[in-house]
Amino acid sequence: MVQYTDIGDVPAAEVERMRAVYEPLAESVRELIDATIRTEVDAETVAAVKAQIDAATARLRARQCDGPFGVRRTANGQSLAWGNPVIGIRNPIAPPLQIRRTEDGRVVTDFEMGAAYEGPPGHVHGGVAALVLDHVLGEVAANGDRPRFTGTITLRFLRPTRLGRLHAEAGITRVDGIKAYATGRLSDADGVSVEAEGVFIAPKWARE
């Protein structure tokens, strides 16, 4: 059972305050991930850094939520997916994507991917391209604050996607009751590299 967390009457200013506390931490951990993959310092330094990190983790764990972050909803309708691995501002795994909705109902996003997302040398892992496109198509297929979850998605890889500045976008092609059909694509500096199409379905609890 997919269960959202109702956090009640939290004012927007308090949400902003929480964001200002925790977002910079995740940004620092993203840098650490990149350094962890690329470092060539000696064994003694690595061991010392590891001890520092374990100490940092222990301090953070002194008070933490049970289980994963979930998706938290305020009484005034804000939805905080801060733990999400694609858009979560508190999840160091996420680039994170900032998704904009255009006037004609499409979604677009520009972002950067480095060492942490590498599959073939110098290129984005095909599964990471799938992760991004699944999310972007799901986002455009959502109906206001009612999610639609992926039913089926197909990805066509035209060529390898280079690491660096990337762009993804998606649009709805058709809505048929509880189903929305969406298409999208991922591009690097040389143009479109991956195309996607999918069917997204409203879960039972989110149907009207």
List the interface residues with a copy of itself, window 152-181 (CB under 8 A): 152-157, 160, 163
Segment (H or E) for 109: strand 107-113
Cα-to-chain-centroid distance, residue 156: 21
Rank residues 133 and 180 by Cβ distance to a copy of itself and give the closer one. Answer: 133
Examine residue 45 and tell whether it contacts a copy of itself (CB under 8 A).
yes
Interaction of residue 55 with a copy of itself, rule CB under 8 A: yes
- Say how far residue 160 (Cα) sits from the centre of its chain: 21
Q: Closer to a copy of itself by CB, 105 or 121: give it.
A: 121
Nearest approach, Cβ of residue 149 and a copy of itself (Å):
7
Residue 19 sits in the site that holds a copy of itself (CB under 8 A): no
CB of 134 to a copy of itself, least distance (A): 3
Q: Is 5 in the site for a copy of itself (CB under 8 A)?
A: yes
d(CA 204, CA 100) in angstroms, rounded, equals 27
Question: What CA dihedral angle connects 88, 94, 96 and 99, to 10 degrees?
Answer: -70
CB of 76 to a copy of itself, least distance (A): 19
Residue 205, CA atoms < 13 Å, CB-side half-sphere: 5
**Residue from 59, 77, 144, 177 in contact with a copy of itself (CB under 8 A):** 59
Calpha distance 203→176 (Å, rounded): 14
Map residues 100-119 to x or -, x wherever contact with a copy of itself holds by CB under 8 A.
Answer: --------------xxxxxx
Considering only 54, 104, 176, 190, the residue that binds a copy of itself (CB under 8 A) is 54
57 class by beta-carbon count within 10 Å (0-12 exposed, 13-18 middle, 19+ buried): exposed
d(CA 56, CA 62): 10
**Residue 28: its H or E element:** helix 12-38
Among 80, 128, 140, 202, binds a copy of itself (CB under 8 A): 128
Pick one of 80, 86, 99, 172: the residue that binds a copy of itself (CB under 8 A): 86
To the nearest whole angstrom, how small is the minimum distance from the Cβ of residue 30 to a copy of itself?
9
Q: Which residue has the tokens 């983790």?
A: 57
